[in-house]
Structure 1
C-alpha cells in the first residue's frame, strides 16, 4: 500500500476543493503580511494617503500571499514525502489541526499540490516583478533583496531545501525583515535606523513562534533529516536558545531606545510585548509548548500594533 493510499480516508475524492487548496496555501496564517501595515505607518504623513501608495502595497500583498502559497505548498509535499508531517501532526491532530495538512488528511493528492505550488511560484515571481516595475523607487539593494526573498521562499523546503540544511531559523527572521525593508525602500528610495529596528522586531516574531514549533516537532524532523537547532541540541539547550532569542528581541528594544535609533519613549510603548514574551517563555519552560506557541503568535500580532502606533507617533513628533 502506498503512503498516499494509507492516509486517504474513506470517501475522499481525488478532486481538490477550494477549501483544501486554501488550507494548502495556509491562508489562515497571515503574520508575514502584517509587515505592510508597519511599512504604511512608517511613511511620511503626506505619502501614506496617496493612491499610488495603496496601489503598490496592495500589489505587494498579493505577491507575498502567492509566494507564501508556493512555499508552504512545496513544504507540505516534502513533509508528506519524508513522513515528517504525518509524525508531527498525526499524533496530535486535535491540537495541531490535521486538516491544515491536506496531503496527510487525504483531501488533495501529491500531484495536485505540486501543480498548485509550481503555478504559485511562477505567479508570485511575476507579481514581484510587477511590484518592482510599478514602484516609484528601485534601489538596487531592495531589488536584489526582493529577488532573494522570493528565491529563498520557493526553496524553503524544495530545490535547495534550505529549511532542511540548518538555515530555517535564519530564513524565518530574514523573510520578515526583507518583506518590511523592500516595500519601504520601493516607496521611499531608502531606509533609516528606526525602520531597520522595526523590521528586525517584526521579522523576529515569526522566528520566535517557529522555535516552539521546532521544539514540538524535533523528533519527527530529526527522523526526516531536517536540521534545526531543536534537532541538533538537547531539549534543555534548545530552551536556552529560545530564551536567548527572546531576550535578544527585548534587548533590541532597550538598545534602540538607549542609542537613539528609536525615540526615547519607544521602550515604554513596547512594554506589553515584553510582558507577553516573558509569559510565553515561562510557559514554554514549564513544558506546554503549543500553548507557548499560541501566545508567541499573539505576541507577534501585538508587536505589529505597537510598531504601527510607534511609527505614527514618531511621524507626528517634531
Structure 2
C-alpha cells in the first residue's frame, strides 16, 4: 500500500520542477490569506476603543499573533495534505480526471515533495506557531485567562483538523472552519482589550462563516473523493438537494445574524444596512453554484465575499468608534 501511494504521482504525471521554497509555499497555501485578515478586524475594533495612543501598545502583540496564526495554519494545511495524499482523496480530486484543479497546489500529489518533507515542515511550522503565540501573550497589554485558554485550545485543535484526531473525518469539518475563524478574532481582541464584546462576537462569527462558505462549495465539488475515503462532509452525507438546502440555510443565516444583531442592540442599528453588499454577493454566490451550476466559480466568488465582509467589518468598527452610538 505504501509503495502504491508513493508511486501515485508518477502515474498522474511528473510535475515541472520548481524551487523548494515555492513548493513549500504551495504546501502551506500561503496565497490563501483569508484567515489572516482577522487581525485587521481586531485592530479596527480594539485600537480605537482604547484610544489610538493607548491602543498602539497592542501592535506588537497583533504582529506576533499574526505570525503565529500563519505558522499554525501552515501546519494545519500541511498535515491536511499529508492525510489527503495517504487516503487517496487528493489524488482523486487533483488527478487527471479533474483538469480544473491545479495539481501543483498539492505537492505530494505532484511529486514535488515527499511525505517526510511535508510532515517535517508541518511540525516546524506548528512549533513556530506555538512560540509566536506565546510571545504574543507575553507582550500583550492584557492576559485574561479565557483568552489564554482559547489560544492554547485553538493551537491544539488546529493540528487535529485532519491529522491526529482527524476531526474533519468525524463530521466536524464545517463546525471547525467557523470555530477557527471565531477564535482568531476573539483571542487577539481579548489580548488587546482584556474584554469580551457581544458586537465583536457577532463579527467573529461572521468572519468565521467566510472560510466555511467557500469550503462548502469545495466540498460540493469534491463529494466523490470524500465519499470514497469516508470523509463525512455535509455534501458527502446528503443528497445534492440536501446539500443545496444546507448551503442556502447558511447563506440566509449569515443575513439573519447581521439583522438580529442590529435589532437586538448587540450591534449598532446601522450594522445590518452596512453589510448588505456582502449579503447580496453571498446570494449571488448561491445562484452561481446551485442555479447556474458553476460550483467552482461560486467557490472563487466566496473568497471575494469574505474579503468584502472584512472591509465592511473594519468600516463598522471605525464608524462605531467615531460615532460612539449603538
**Is the TM value for this pair above 0.5?**
yes
Choose 130-139 or 215-224, whichever is displaced more.
130-139
2:230 and 2:8 map into 1 onto residues whose CA distance is 22
1:317 aligned onto 2:323:
yes
Structure 2 CA distance for aligned equivalents of residues 226 and 11 of structure 1: 27
| C-alpha distance after superposition, 1:19-44 (max 9, x if no partner) | 00000000000000101100000124
Shift of 1:197: 0.8
User: What are the superposed Cα offsets for residues 263-313 of structure 1, whole Å, 9 maximum, x if unpaired?
Assistant: 111111111101101101111112211111111111000000000001100
Q: Deviations over 1:78-117 (max 9, x none)?
A: 0000010011112465432211100001111111101111
The secondary structure found in structure 2 opposite 1:166 is coil
1:20 has 2:26 as partner: no
Question: Who is 1:6 aligned against?
Answer: 8
Question: Where does structure 1 differ by over 3 angstroms across 4 or more consecutive aligned residues?
Answer: 8-13, 46-51, 91-94
Partner of 2:46: 43
Alpha-carbon distance, 1:5 to partner: 2.7
SS at match of 1:219: helix
Output the CA distance in 2 between the equivalents of 1:4 and 1:21: 18
Which of 216, 225, 228 is 1:223 aligned to?
A: 228
Aligned residue for 1:200, secondary structure, equals: helix
RMSD across aligned positions (CA): 1.7
Q: Which residue of 2 aligns with 1:299?
A: 305
- The corresponding residue for 2:179 is 174
Structure 2 CA distance, aligned partners of 1:100 and 1:11?
11
Kept in 2, the 8 Å contact 1:47–1:53? The answer is: no
Equivalent residue, structure 1, for 2:260: 255
Q: Structure 1 regions of 5+ residues with no counterpart?
A: none
Q: Give the Cα–Cα distance (whole angstroms) in 1 for the partners of residues 101 and 140 of structure 2.
A: 40
Mapped partners of 1:11, 1:40: distance in 2: 41
Question: Is the alpha carbon distance of 1:47 and 1:243 closer, same or farther for their aligned partners in structure 2, counting shifts above 3 Å?
Answer: same
The alignment partner of 1:251 has SS state of: helix
Shift of 1:315: 0.5
Show the counterpart of 2:136: 131
Q: Secondary structure at the match of 2:298?
A: helix
Moved more, 70-79 or 119-128: 119-128
Q: C-alpha separation between the residues in 2 aligned to 1:94 and 1:254?
A: 41
* TM-score for both structures, normalised by structure 1: 0.95
SS at match of 1:146: helix
SS at match of 1:69: helix
- Report if the CA contact (8 A) 1:16-1:112 is conserved: no
- Give the Cα–Cα distance (whole angstroms) in 1 for the partners of residues 15 and 239 of structure 2: 42
Q: Deviations over 1:36-75 (max 9, x none)?
A: 1000001242544554322111101100000001000000
TM-superposition CA deviations, 1:230-285 (whole Å, max 9, x none): 11111110110000011000000111111111111111111110110110111111
TM-score by length of 2: 0.93
Matches within 5 A, 1:72-87: 72-87=77-92
Residues 135 and 229 of structure 1: CA distance in aligned 2, closer, same or farther (over 3 Å): same
Q: Please, which of 88, 95, 120 is the counterpart of residue 125 of structure 2?
A: 120
Change beyond 3 A, Cα 1:92–1:186: farther
Note closer, same or farther for the CA distance 1:10–1:258 as it changes in structure 2 (3 Å cut). Answer: closer
CA distance in 2, matches of 1:217, 1:144: 35
- Following superposition of structure 1 onto structure 2, how do residues 101-116 of structure 1 map, counting pairs within 5 Å? 101-116=106-121
- Size of the aligned set, in residue pairs, is 317
Structure 2's unaligned 5+ residue stretches are none
Name the CA distance, whole Å, in 2 between partners of 1:314 and 1:56. 23
Task: Indicate if the aligned counterparts of 1:77 and 1:103 stay in contact, CA closer than 8 A.
Answer: yes
